[in-house]
Amino acid sequence: MKKFVKIACFVIFISAVCVFLCSCVTKFEDKINACVSEYRENYFYTKSGDISASFTDGKREKNYVYDGKSSQLVDYGVILVFVKDFAGDKLKFEMKINDEMLAGEMERNPFDKSFVFDIERKVKSTDNLALYLVDFDATLNLENLSKSWKISCAQALTIFINANKTELKKYIVGDCFDGEIFIKIVSDKQDEDNIYFYVLAVLKDAQVFGALIDVNTGNIVQN
């Protein structure tokens, strides 16, 4: 009987330890999850000749600044277009989302020469997107590549946290993470096959570190 009681007590003790450790892990991840300043969900893409186009949506800070502090998030949906050998600084476009039509003018990004426009909203993964470029009289039908990915945005963050747990724990102050997290989708503008989640930690002491995570294998290709 005493032996049984000892075994029962031991089992209860081990269970309590496991629950405690699991709750600590969850609490640790929750502190970092609460400080996400940007995340991206859907990724649509197409390429035709010298033109490649993508559409990415999600949520990001209304006041978009890398300052180590997460603030109010808003919806966004960014159209990104690369055109080879085009000298103009603006591109007129029409975006058809199912039966809804949007129109605007993209401006050139001075850093990578792309054309960018934020429609300030998200779309559904099943939506049909068609981009008409007025200057080229060209219609591009965008395909949602992210629907077939094996790794989600949330899973990419978990992979990043587990790989950098020791460093991240240094920035847990009380119940808060002393920094902010950005989860981006990056790709070679000429190659739709090489696409990654880029998880970036921006800390309040000006330290920055990140990781490229394969969207299908979950492997960290650069950390």
Paired strand residues for 43: 56
- Residue labelled with tokens 């949007």: 102
Q: What is the pLDDT of residue 28?
A: 84
Q: Write the pLDDT tens digit of every residue in 45-94.
A: 999 999 999 999 999 999 999 999 999 999 999 999 999 888 889 999 99
187, 194 Cβ separation under 8 angstroms: yes
Q: What is the pLDDT of residue 222?
A: 81
Nearest residue to 51 via CA among 146, 135, 144: 135
List of residues 6+ apart from 131 with CB closer than 8 A? 46, 53, 55, 79, 81, 93, 94, 95, 96, 139, 140, 141, 142
Mean pLDDT of the chain: 87
Q: What is the pLDDT of residue 127?
A: 98
Single-letter amino acid code for the residue at 27: K
Residue 103 scores a pLDDT above 60: yes
State phi, psi for 15 to the nearest 5 degrees.
-65, -40
Give percent above pLDDT 70 in the chain.
Answer: 87
Quote the strand ranges of 49-99, DSSP E: 51-61, 73-83, 90-97
Taking the CA atoms of 179, 182, 188 and 193 in sequence, report the sign of the dihedral they define: positive
